[in-house]
Chain A
């Protein structure tokens, strides 16, 4: 089976700073793959490079067996979509939910917009009561649901999730995670998910990659983390740190 996403020796350079150093990665269809690691290690950059929002200097990206060029075609966006980290920043401040969801349908020339918007809202559990609200009339969790609905409305097969719950509180996080899992099951989606919460990653993903300074540190099964079967010191530090704060005497 062709992998949903195959990245080979991907390098991203800003001016002369190497944000991503030859990272390779394959994600099978229907799999959920996690990225964890140091802040600034290039996790978002990796997702943005796939989405065509970061400058790729070398390396290749294949989506569904098709090699991506320098510029993305319109078709590409019907295969790959992304949910951003910050629900407060990823919705246009002057547009209603309706308008936000209409935009992708309009760009891709869908006809039955009415039905699709309705279905997308139902799918993320918002219902039509929220359809004509502006984003400032929504809570963080509701905003993130709208962002997810927007990403799903083009029926992509790969969903890139950049810390989708880090700005949400524990109760809303649980709701959004449940929603994402349910959608993945129903639609047989492939996930690539960034989070710094190891609990969230092991909950959501089967495999994961640990990153530091733009490079891969190690690759693990989710179960390895639970049973502490890790080989690299950095990962071990992460595990210890995720236990919480320890005051030195």
Chain B
């Protein structure tokens, strides 16, 4: 298995007027053609890690890393044009908040077609056909109808799948999926995961799967990174997530309601200051 992505000591900080916010504080990992899960609570820096790899960090932010390399390309040294060429084509990211990321005044179909046509020279009718296929592939019933709908006219889960379709249509080598299934019902969720799984197995895509659904991550991914306050507190094999050592991971696992359980109120995380170190 060849390594697609090297990340060593990645740091992302935002100079704000009230001081520097360190969103990511020294994250290191390597990714091959596998599924890597990143879990952690809100604000722990999961999305910023993904965005830094993707080159989507806001302008004012400062990115530092000892090494940030994709397939032999040094991402830190790459020019804006080179990164743009990578983005969407070879590295793609499914953004959190699909409703926020979709253009509210353009139909779903047109947005997918435009993405496709910025990466590939295809005719109008072929682009349409491929967009429709892609919508069907992400389990949207009645793709023809959804193709012509505006983002506010689709359900939460349909918007999310439209976003996934948009990112997959270019056939990336590395996919960063930021909470790709948070608005989907469990059966569709699995359908989407199966698509991603096939891409990893058949096409050798590398997948970074950011999620706060620990159950899903533990059954779907190969490895899991647990983040807290911008740092990796634990890295384990996904199947062993339930035997996590760190109290933070244990706490996260413990506060999920489960079918057939009767815990009122649910236990909540009791954050310890020493976890910050």
Contact = CB atoms under 8 A, between A and B. Distances in A.
Tell whether any CB of A sits under 8 Å from a CB of B in the complex. yes
B97 A86 contact: yes
Given A163-B183, A213-B141, A40 B157 contact: yes
B47 to A, nearest CB: 11
Contacts of B17: none
Contact of B186 (A175, A227, A241): A241
Nearest to B255: A174
Contacts of A168: 42, 212
Contacts of B265: 174, 177-178, 181-182
B122 interface: no
Contacts of A239: 259
Contacts of B261: 199, 202-203
A215 B31 CA distance: 44
Interface stretch (B61-69, B166-174, B216-224, B229-237): B216-224
Interface string A176-214: 011001100000000000001111101110000000010
B115 interface: no
Contacts of A39: 155-158, 161, 183-185, 188
Contacts of A237: 187
B198 to A, nearest CB: 10
Nearest to B44: A169
Interface string A219-249: 0000001110000000001110111111100
Pairs A-B, 8 closest by C-beta atoms: A39-B157, A226-B260, A244-B219, A169-B212, A203-B257, A174-B255, A241-B186, A178-B265
Interface residues of A, number: 54
A17 B259 contact: no
Contacts of B124: none
A86 B99 contact: yes
Contact of B266 (A17, A166, A177): A177
Given A171-B255, A196-B184, A202-B257, A241 B97 contact: no
A1 interface: no
Contacts of B266: 174, 177-178, 203
A129 interface: no
Interface string A124-158: 00000000000000011100000000000000000
A170 B259 contact: no
B2 to A, nearest CB: 22
Contacts of A196: 157, 183-186, 189
B219 A170 contact: no
Nearest to B270: A171
**Highest count of chain A CB atoms <10 Å: which of B97, B216, B265:** B265
Interface residues of B, number: 54
B158 to A, nearest CB: 5
Interface in A86-134: 86, 88-89
Contacts of B253: 170
B183 A85 contact: yes
A224 to B, nearest CB: 10
A85 B218 CA distance: 25
Contacts of B267: 174
**Highest count of chain A CB atoms <10 Å: which of B99, B100, B215:** B215
Given A172-B42, A181-B264, A198 B255 contact: no
B26 interface: no
Nearest to B266: A174
A43 B267 CA distance: 29
A227 B268 CA distance: 26
A62 B129 CA distance: 45
A163 B218 CA distance: 23
A91 to B, nearest CB: 13
A87 B268 CA distance: 20
Nearest to B98: A86
B247 to A, nearest CB: 12
A213 to B, nearest CB: 7
Given A197-B257, A202-B261, 5 more contacts: A39-B183, A139-B43, A171-B255, A203-B257, A241-B190
Nearest to B43: A139
